[in-house]
Structure 1
């Protein structure tokens, strides 16, 4: 606890001075006695110089204890406000599900044209790249020719079947001939249908050589250059990554100690390092049941939906400082956290008394941000001393 101005410390310094004086001048004895403790003139001169230096030091200490300036700070009135309980967490800005898509071809080939670069804005269905198509186009042409042949065969088989049917009543052909003609016609028609399917398949394969964007967004990365050959096997190779920056969320990682108090629908706020003075409003949308364990610390992912307009400000992988509001204490008596001191396991604040400060014990409650609740020891309108430079919420001075 800090001493009040003008307390006993000044007298203590004076007493120290007298003791030092006695050690310097009295203890050695008086030269006039001529005893074993008598001083020579040189020793007396040195002792006098030492006493003067010591007197100056002690005099400065006395001034500091009794007449120095009070500590720098402000007198801030105790006030009443709503005090929310919060869970503090660190999170990351991430795209929502479906807002980041890796785009690539479903067929192998050489990349012939790449129409976009990183940062380009694209729309759904826009062409991003084209692979070499000569072999695929040849397959389409071949399938068209096969279809034309199959259709011609089917037409001939149908005509033959019709003629054979007409001759049966006249006795010119047997029933077996009619059945054979009908079977040939049905087989030709099936082959024509198969040729149509082969043509459709070849056209689809050809379409895969043209890579289009499945969503509106911005090109986040390009991993292939013109002239490179790509091979599509079990998974399609990635040409570009498209991100919809209008569909972002915050993944906050809440400690296992606090996760039981977090519920879907609770309000939250967060800030990012890029815009430290802007606070974004959010709401808890989901809590992942699976824990995330890093360095033996158990956290749970909490998904926050962003309520404010953020397009053009937030970007994926930005670090977010998150505060989730649990509940609010209405009409709490509060003081700045900086005003509270602790000694011997008890809390106290400094209040003005006379020309100085005196300590007053207080009972603390909930702490939120820069303020802490006072349950006992102060009343609304009382003033407490807040050390350090003044801040926006501080009033008064000392």
Structure 2
């Protein structure tokens, strides 16, 4: 075979190898391009801002409480016995002196009758002894005349005087006994009067703890028969304020609260009492703060649970910013502190620090009393990084 033909055949034999190598390099190069395209990304910073506005800044103490009548009267029984009649029930409107229940009066009426009889006996005994005294005095006077003429002996005269003195003492004893019997009669009549369970005030019965036929025992302690709320048009909310917040509470602080029965209605009241008696439950110390509220429509009922907001301080129509703004600072910058309070704003697409003079602060807003901040400035409260990845398809 000529040399040229041999060289040509050799080139034809190597050509597939060359093509394969080129193809491998192309594929390898394409894979490299894919990896680079997928790893290429651009990173930018996004700011979360909140506009400075003019509005209200309110500092509150949040707690819970229970709705109760301002004055609840406990009606009990001084005497024991069986409930014979009952004239009041739940929600009964009562007046002062109205009979709500009656204990069987027969045992106490018997005691009154006996005391009257004893008193009558004592009065009769007094009349008898007074008659004896009259005779003893007359006999003594007669013997006093006769003894001077020795018509009677000295012993008879002394005996007449003794009888007179005894009769006089007996009359005094009878008079004292009448007073004692009269006192016993008065006590029996008082006990008889206690068999009528009466209302001491005008109000509404909110609790009844007895039924007809029930035996009331008042030997050791006075049993509670009725609870009467004097005026349901005036209510109070008894709240428990922690010792960490009690220092901010003042008399006449405004209060807003809601109850589950009227979740869309806000009730208003005022602080009328801060009780000095602490309550400790599981090492947590709280104080009872009493809130008075009008209840003219009788919507509030005793025992309701109230979610209470006690307003300890407030500012109206002031420039305010979000409280988070004073805790933000860009990377590499010092945070705001009490000596140099400042916030960061976006102006002309760039960050700028603005010093402010803070006033009343809450968890939500901070009052701005002075500085270069204006209403409408976009104050930065946070930032977040957003990564956008550009992925490309492989190209051969």
Give TM-score scaled by structure 1 length: 0.67
CA distance in 2 between counterparts of 1:191 and 1:371 reads: 83
CA distance in 2 between counterparts of 1:351 and 1:284 reads: 47
Closer, same or farther in 2 for the Cα pair 1:33/1:369, shift >3 Å? closer
Q: Which of 53, 57, 63 pairs up with 1:78?
A: 53
Q: 1:329 deviation in Å?
A: 5.4
Q: 1:182 deviation in Å?
A: 0.7
Q: Which has the larger radius of gyration?
A: 2
Question: Number of residues paired by the alignment?
Answer: 329
For structure 2, the residue ranges without an aligned partner over 5 or more in a row are 1-18, 145-156, 337-341, 382-396
Q: 1:199 deviation in Å?
A: 0.9
- Given that 2:234 and 2:295 are in contact with CA atoms closer than 8 Å, whether structure 1 keeps it comes out as no
Give the structure, 1 or 2, with the largest relative contact order (CA under 8 Å, sep 6 or more).
2
CA distance in 2 between counterparts of 1:104 and 1:144 reads: 28
Task: Describe the superposition over 1:50-70 as per-residue Cα deviations: whole angstroms up to 9, x where unpaired.
Answer: x9xx99xx9xx99xx9xxxxx
1:192 has 2:178 as partner: yes
Q: 1:133 deviation in Å?
A: 1.5
Q: What residue number does 1:139 align with?
A: 111
Q: What residue number does 2:63 align with?
A: 89
1:143 aligns to what SS in structure 2?
A: helix
CA distance in 1 between counterparts of 2:182 and 2:254 reads: 58
Q: What residue number does 1:23 align with?
A: none
Closer, same or farther in 2 for the Cα pair 1:328/1:104, shift >3 Å? closer
- Given that 2:243 and 2:285 are in contact with CA atoms closer than 8 Å, whether structure 1 keeps it comes out as yes
- Given that 2:233 and 2:294 are in contact with CA atoms closer than 8 Å, whether structure 1 keeps it comes out as no
Counting only pairs closer than 5 Å after superposition, residues 8-87 of structure 1 correspond to structure 2 as: 34-36=22-24, 78-79=53-54, 83-87=57-61
Q: Which of 274, 288, 292 pairs up with 2:279?
A: 292
Q: Which of 108, 123, 130 pairs up with 2:80?
A: 108
Q: 1:127 deviation in Å?
A: 0.8
CA distance in 2 between counterparts of 1:266 and 1:239 reads: 36
**Cα RMSD after superposing both structures:** 4.1
Q: 1:121 deviation in Å?
A: 1.7
CA distance in 2 between counterparts of 1:307 and 1:163 reads: 78
Give TM-score scaled by structure 2 length: 0.67
Q: 1:185 deviation in Å?
A: 0.9
Which deviates more from structure 2 when the two are superposed, residues 378-387 or residues 270-279? 378-387
Task: Describe the superposition over 1:97-143 as per-residue Cα deviations: whole angstroms up to 9, x where unpaired.
Answer: xx223322222211111112112122222111111111111111111
- Given that 1:219 and 1:242 are in contact with CA atoms closer than 8 Å, whether structure 2 keeps it comes out as yes
Counting only pairs closer than 5 Å after superposition, residues 129-278 of structure 1 correspond to structure 2 as: 129-171=101-143, 174-244=160-230, 245-246=232-233, 248-263=235-250, 265-273=251-259, 274-276=261-263, 277-278=265-266
CA distance in 2 between counterparts of 1:308 and 1:386 reads: 44
1:302 has 2:289 as partner: yes
Closer, same or farther in 2 for the Cα pair 1:299/1:378, shift >3 Å? farther
- Given that 1:249 and 1:303 are in contact with CA atoms closer than 8 Å, whether structure 2 keeps it comes out as yes
Q: What residue number does 2:100 align with?
A: 128
- Given that 2:67 and 2:236 are in contact with CA atoms closer than 8 Å, whether structure 1 keeps it comes out as yes
Q: 1:231 deviation in Å?
A: 1.6
CA distance in 2 between counterparts of 1:311 and 1:170 reads: 88
Closer, same or farther in 2 for the Cα pair 1:202/1:251, shift >3 Å? same
CA distance in 2 between counterparts of 1:128 and 1:310 reads: 26
Q: Which of 254, 260, 279 pairs up with 2:267?
A: 279
Q: What residue number does 2:360 align with?
A: 366
CA distance in 2 between counterparts of 1:295 and 1:92 reads: 20
For structure 1, the residue ranges without an aligned partner over 5 or more in a row are 1-30, 66-70, 388-398
